[in-house]
Structure 1
Amino acid sequence: MSTGTPSGQAAVRHGWLQALVTVVAAALTMLVVASLGLWAAGAAGLPRGAFPPVVAATVVTAVGGSVELSGNAGSLAGTDAGLTVVPLSVSLAGALVVAAGFLRPLRRGAFRGAGGLILWAARIAVLWLLALAALGVAARHTFTLSLGDSVLGGLGDVFGLSPRVGFTAEVPRTLLFGLLWLAGVLVVALLVTRSAPLAGRLGRLREAARPLAYAMVALLLACVVLAGGVALVVAATRGRPAETFGVILLGLPNLAWLAFTLGLGATWDGRLTGPFGLPLPPVLEEVLRAPDLSTLDVRTLAAHDGRVWWLVVVDAMLVLAAAVLAAPRPPAGTAAWRHALRTAVALALTVLAVCLLGRVRAHWGLSVLGVGDLGGNLAGELLLRPRLWGALGWAALWGLVAGFLGALLARGARAARGRSGGT
């Protein structure tokens, strides 16, 4: 392949080095964020060199990979554990680095045309899969649990039981979903940037989708920034700063985007039992700690703290700002109703992604001769799952209203600027 310029030919020849720098930078960023988050959460004290494998497992789950939990407590005991969660702070950090590394040579014109673009993405993908395979191999460990002075501890002493639990990354599944994660990041990066040249049909497609794609990404990042500001205030005023920073470095987007969907009117089902290593917002923990499955929406949260209604106000401002940001510019103006439909689709797709990525299912438990853990630290559950169709319906409705108003506001602002410029 030739780009017709010496610099372009050099970029093609050395594209593997650029791809390697991008992948290594992304992997190191995710490892550093995961390490700091786990350290702040207290995981550095895990026994028998468990911290590095736990960090690797966190990065694996951050790209959609799977970690299988297992337990062995002998023939007289049983263990049960499962984990489905995406630490979105780690995911977001890696995605930003990958996107920046992917777009940099494209802005310089090093890879032109569909063939050059595919070649550049393929190089990153190959090295990314190698990095994920290494992380998957590293993400495995086994712990021996101490039963303490509980009822289970006494039974364990009598029968000589030493419960063991461990985790192992499912490498094939990790490679598959890690590749899908990378593809999603690269596609979104291409959609939201204007500086990477695309010709022909790809260019026309990007020009049509870019305003709303850019607006939705800006909307999600604004939610994270606002939530980060609130979290810093909490860390400074309410104690437990280390654990709060653990939340910021591991799951800040999880909470920020959950709050965003709740403000739109979405409903989640959830439950929290047993100990949980990271602090949740008090109002969220109060609702989730119930005997049965809890309904999580603005009304149930507001019953514990009326300030939750501000979520609706903040969402209204953010969604309307995104609609104005994405409003079409003349001369290729679009009718307000058409912009409303496009905004509804874009916001529904955004909420769909949040709901799929924000689901949490974590449970762990141990029983000996049928006796379960009685209030100790060996059993618990954290569950969060969205009522998907309701969330998408509310997102589409908000998108319709905000898109229509945003088109009118943008049109009025441009008309006002035109009048002031003509006088």
Structure 2
Amino acid sequence: MQTLHSAPIVLPVSAEPIGDGAVLVDGDRVAAVGPRAELAAAHPGVRERRWAGVLTPGLVNAHAHLQYTDFEDLNALGQPFPVWISQLTARRPSFTEAMWCESARRGVNLMLDSGTTAVADIVTDACVLAPTARSGIGGISYLEVVFQDARSWSESGRTRLLDQLAAAPAGRRVGVSPHTPFTVAGAVFADAVAIARDKGLRIHPHVAESPAESRYVAEGTGPFAETMAKAGKAMELIRDGGSGLTPTGYLDKLGVLGPDVHAAHCVHCDAADRAVLRERGVYPALCARSNKILQSGQPPVADYLREGSPFGIGTDSLASSPSLDLLEEAAALRELARAQGYHEADLDRRIFEAATLGGAGAMALADAGRIEPGGPADLAAFAIPGLAGLDPADAYSALLDAAAEGAHRCLVTVLGGTLVHRAA
């Protein structure tokens, strides 16, 4: 059955904005996109849904932890990253599989209700794959490898990862997430990546998130070294007194970085690090609000923009972010770019592209984050102030302005042609 979704402005993202535009949906695919009058005339009698907002592709969240949705109170701790992660780790044993699944389900619903239709989700407990798969949300779930040295990896960690990959439910793509250089020994990190590549899976580590991580990788010291030593983990970087490298440089030396990888955070990346990421085809997933809450620093978004580095945008989890609303995250990242001195006329468009095409590129989702004939019918419509008379070319700015002020509202989310959220 065909449906015509129309709106005062349609933003295909991969093409120019369309005033009084429409998207013809046939089943779960986009059949056509263009001016409403032309599509309506070409398809007389087609059912039409008219949305009083800006119609966009479904947003693509490049980094999240859906299972930590119910850890929301941790985002108000006011503690730096090393303290925060110890608090999160200490709380984990209090959750059952049923609780993890319900937390992840709530996270999915928050994303769908705010216009996100695909997500790169880090999965620490494989039980949450089932509710995520049932939701139909797009993207990839990355099974996490964390707190592993050579001994624990050989005793159980490696087998556990292989078993989880083999048991992953149908209907949800999976990948592998070696957590960070400070929680995964170098040899283990390399082996987890090798397993993923042997199976043709994508890889999504955390990279250069905090100053403590940079210190650990360079010197083998600091709070993370103390945590690993206290846990009895035999880590090469502690043994060797560090690598003398940045986290990006260290992972590149291990052979981790490549076009099948996208990296969360990438806050502490200098010009040489950013060049390595570009050369290896690695998309950063920038999460500015989480970085601010965890006192981790500011991602150099203005430099990424000036240097032509592709990137996506992630919310991280509610444990370290004020919301899972990707449009709000994009608005915060735009403000950071401005504060860092980027004032080019393309700023608003490029930030919105990062929240759509950027996330799709990070996960190699060939047809996500855009509205194109033959592509998935994943759509969102946003009500914003001042829509009447708005020049379609100004819609990128208007969307981000509204999100920055909390004045936007997701009217509808369409996932694979099906309405999965509709505002009252």
Task: Please give the range of the TM-score, normalised by the shorter of the 2 chains.
Answer: under 0.3
Structure whose residues are more often strand by fraction: 2
Structure whose residues are more often helix by fraction: 1
TM-score of the aligned structures, taking structure 1 as reference length: 0.27
Q: Which of these two proteins has the greater Rg computed from alpha carbons?
A: 1
